[in-house]
Amino acid sequence: MDNRITEDMAALMQSHLELVIQANKTTNLTRIDSLEDGLLLHVEDSLIGLDECLSAPEGKYADLGTGGGFPGITIAIATVRPTTLVDTRRKKTVILDGIVEKLGLADQVSTYTGRIEEMALEHPKAFSLITARALAQLSVLLEFSSPLLKTGGHLVCYKAQVSDGEMGHALEVQDMLGMKLISQRSVYLSDGETFRTILVFEKTARPRIKLPRPVSYAQKKPL
């Protein structure tokens, strides 16, 4: 565990994981069903991006496609940022609301149920930090995040692997979206086998196209 994580923080993170595993018996929140695997592939994996999250400007934080609340709740505990967990499925966000309440984090962490494009219309330029873990191609994440981020805000992407084509396309469209790659780091988790890449993009300017585009355009009509 990261030495910046206190015992109380670690206990909350494990309690979150245990509640997710319990809820997973009736609702599909995660494919991981054991505490040992969850501590590695959810909690430790979430904390891999902690340095990058701590380096973002102060302000609100959103975790896109949060699923069971990873990395969102883990990073919320570690950074104490006001946090919004974003997912399209109400069944998931209702469960997350209950988990947040049980963890005593309701004053800090809330959920948003709906499409990211809709959230961008309701909360433009509201966030200083956004995370996304295994959600979409980098270019799509840039398009999703740009209208949500304040100028200077950071998008932290958690990736298992990034192909040359995916990276190349992201670099081609970043200027159009007012975003810029500022760091990239690859590491193995403590099992020595699980490989992760953390990429950070900064919102540097207003996008040159109108964002957000209509729902689903980012995936179905990519830039």
Q: Please write the tens of the pLDDT for every residue from 54-106.
A: 999 999 999 999 999 999 999 999 999 999 999 999 999 999 999 999 999 99
Q: What are phi and psi of 175, to 5 degrees?
A: -65, -40
- Averaged pLDDT, groups of 10, the chain, 223 residues long: 88 97 88 91 96 98 97 98 97 96 98 98 98 95 98 98 96 98 97 97 97 93 91
Kindly report the CA angle at 33 between 31 and 44, in degrees rounded to 5?
A: 85
Q: Which residue, among 139, 136, 93, 126, has the nearest Cα to 112 in the 3D structure?
A: 93
Q: Do residues 48 and 189 make contact, with C-beta atoms less than 8 angstroms apart?
A: yes
Residues whose CB falls within 8 Å of the CB of residue 145, separated by 6 or more in sequence, listed in order: 64, 130, 132, 155, 179, 201, 203
Q: How far apart are CA 83 and CA 81, in angstroms?
A: 6
User: Is 0.85 topped by the overall pTM?
Assistant: yes
What is the per-residue pLDDT for 3?
A: 77
What is the per-residue pLDDT for 18?
A: 97
Give the pairing of strands 61-64 and 179-188.
unpaired
Cα atoms in the 13 Å half-sphere on the side-chain side of 163: 6
What is the per-residue pLDDT for 1?
A: 66
Kindly report the CA angle at 209 between 122 and 53, in degrees rounded to 5?
A: 60
